[in-house]
Structure 1
């Protein structure tokens, strides 16, 4: 599992980005990949998968 911080999340549109702590890369997250409700600056653990348009975060949980 990777860890990071929610950099941006738009609840009405259902997506956002996580800044990965280890790589400093921004990873897309869709509401369908969330296990907990998240907001900006939340610390999260997640798994990275190769999505349709690049890397996506799934199994996103607050830590």
Structure 2
């Protein structure tokens, strides 16, 4: 598996984590990865779920990890596959 430092803009790593916090008014929050490491930025536009695009504190999620302009960022955020 590639590390985030080896990723370019076209590479994405599938990961899972837990929502640390999410602010509905601002439309963003952070995810704590299950495998440890730094928190991942989550923007409402990356949430791929039905209804109002929000996340709840403590919610388990799956996402694609990419390098954003200011650090690690989650894309295609969904409920984890069982």
TM-score for both structures, normalised by structure 1: 0.90
Q: Which residue of 2 aligns with 1:49?
A: 66
Mean Cα displacement is larger for which, 52-61 or 22-31? 22-31
Aligned pairs for 1:23-38 within 5 A: 23-36=36-49, 37-38=54-55
Q: Which residue of 1 aligns with 2:77?
A: 60
Any stretches of 5+ residues in structure 1 without a counterpart? Answer: none
Aligned residues: 63
CA contact (8 A) 1:38 1:62 kept: no
Look at both structures and tell me which one has the larger radius of gyration over its CA atoms: 2
List structure 1 runs of 4+ shifted beyond 2 angstroms.
none
Q: Which residue of 2 aligns with 1:2?
A: 15
Task: Pick the structure with more strand per residue.
Answer: 1
Alignment RMSD (CA, Å):
1.1
Pairwise CA distance, 1:23: 2.3
